[in-house]
Amino acid sequence: MKTGKRLFDRLELSRTIVWSIATRCWQLVGGMVSFVLVADRLSAREQGYYVTFWSLVALQSMIDLGLSIVVTNFSSHEWAFLHLDSSGAIAGDSQSRSRLVSLGRMSGLWFLIGAILFVMIGGLAGGFLFASKGDSDILWQWPWLATILASGVSLWCLPFFSLLEGCGQMEAVYRFRMFQAINTNFCVWAVLLAGGGLWAAAASATFRCLSDLLFIVVKYRVFFRPFLSVPEGAVLSWRSDIWPVQWRLAAGGLLSYFSYFLFTPVLFYFHSEKLAGQMGMTRQLLVTLQSAAQSWVQTRVPEFSRLIAKREFFALDQIFYRILSISTVFLVIGGVLFLVGVVGLQELAPKFADRLLPVTPTLILLLGMILFQLPFGQTLYLRAHRKEPVFLETLASNTAIAAGVWFAGRAWEANGAAAGYLLAVLLVTVPGIHMAWIRFRRQAHSAG
């Protein structure tokens, strides 16, 4: 027991991180099972539609416009003076409570409007892209409509989960995400085995949105009850408090979709459904691995914010350096194992290997993701200060990645898209974010 505890401490494994990593590991395992079923039950062209569905659902990042990050950071600062009582209600400083409620009401309204726009814009974008293939025999229309509608409901729920994470409920949220991921996978597998084809995507989105609603309305009904009424004390102003931070995230968010989710639509439109399916499935598995590695940093953001609010910068830096090192090593080891698995599939199961990218573009993608670990962690560190000091750097990074994927992917298919991503991260993202991190940290902490 003591040995296990020491190992957990050395690896900075809190219960929240364990749940987060367990979720990502399950998603990786579940993704592999889904990959096998998709390869067995869908044609190569249908797989292209299936993964492109999810690339278009990622348009949510353009509607979010960075507000979910702002909600987590601002609520963390207020939660430093609040707590949950025995009934699950918010207790503590009345003014902090009032500001928290005002934050939740503002973000809920924003995402309600955003969810409606997402369904309209995303639905039309998908219709245009899929119709560009002409008289396809793939029946995508109704599954796509169901997927985009259900995803819109989940988008509206997003700020409430960000609020819970900022208010010290990350363990509960990540535990919920673990069981949600398991049950969602079983829904997808059942539909695929039943011959439902692209309806598997709709089943996944529908189960997710219904479980999101139940978690918020049932489990945390007492917590969210005050948010139904107008706060009577101090409030946060969207114009003076939120927007000065959010607009920078918003500008970056508009380009974030094009920089991180453009791979599959570019290959779908300019080349073929099959190639898009290979890219989408490979990136889905790699991004799940990357997300597991990033959990070490992401789950500690509320802690960063509380340490910053108390001006405990030495403790902040100690934690940050340790967890960033651990997360990077995890990603490197996992990436090597993934490459070994791709090679093994090519030798032992060429039918399934044909549904993934070859080794060369996979390796290039992985190298870009490993390099991205440093600026990802540094960006979260900086944003925990309730500021956005990497606005121009993020804008330049997203633009460079989007341009690299678009032009190189159009010209040289998967190898080009992967190389365009790697070069943009190496030449623009890493140096730009690192220099901004050094500059801001020196100024902000010396002033404290």
**pLDDT tens track for 180-221:** 999 999 999 999 999 999 999 999 999 999 999 999 999 999
Average pLDDT over residues 361-385: 91
**Is pLDDT of 93 > 60?**
yes
Side chain identity, residue 447: A
For 11, residues 6+ apart whose C-beta sits below 8 A from its C-beta are 326
**Is pLDDT of 321 > 80?**
yes
Q: Among 106-120, 301-315, 420-434, which stretch is predicted with the lowest mean pLDDT?
A: 301-315
Band the pLDDT of 370: cuts 50, 70, 90.
very high
pLDDT for position 384 = 81
CA distances from 339 to 160, 295, 357 (A): 37, 22, 11
Please give the Cα distance from 14 to 303 (Å, whole number): 12
Radius of gyration of the chain (CA): 22
Band the pLDDT of 60: cuts 50, 70, 90.
confident
Please give the Cα distance from 83 to 420 (Å, whole number): 47
| Rounded percentage of the chain residues whose pLDDT exceeds 70 | 92
* 3-state SS track over 42-76: CCHHHHHHHHHHHHHHCCHHHHHCCHHHHHHHHHH
pLDDT for position 36 = 85
**Structure-token pair, residue 368:** 């870009």
**Is pLDDT of 286 > 80?**
yes
CA angle 56, 58, 60 (to 5 degrees): 110
**Structure-token pair, residue 238:** 């969207």
Q: Among 38-42, 66-70, 366-370, which stretch is predicted with the lowest mean pLDDT?
A: 66-70
| DSSP assignments along 183-219, one per residue | HHHHHHHHHHHTT-TTHHHHHHHHHHHHHHHHIIIII
pTM of the shown model: 0.70
Give the H or E element holding residue 84.
strand 82-84
Nearest CA among 338, 214, 250, 354 for reference residue 288: 338
| DSSP assignments along 209-277, one per residue | HHHHHHIIIIITHHHHGGGGS--SS----IIIIIHHHHHHHHHHHHHHHHHHS-HHHHHHHHT-HHHHH
Average pLDDT over residues 378-395: 82
Tell me the per-residue pLDDT of 421-431, one tens digit each, with 9 for 90 and over: 999 999 999 99
Q: Which residue has the higher pLDDT, 5 or 406?
A: 406
Q: Where are the domains of the chain?
A: 15-447
Burial of residue 191 (number of CB atoms within 10 Å: 0-12, 13-18, 19+): buried
- The DSSP secondary-structure symbol of 312 reads -
Please give the Cα distance from 290 to 365 (Å, whole number): 11
pLDDT for position 447 = 57
For 75, residues 6+ apart whose C-beta sits below 8 A from its C-beta are 100, 103, 104, 162, 163, 165, 166, 167
Do residues 279 and 270 lie in contact, with contact meaning Cβ atoms separated by under 8 Å? no
Tell me the per-residue pLDDT of 241-254, one tens digit each, with 9 for 90 and over: 777 777 766 666 66
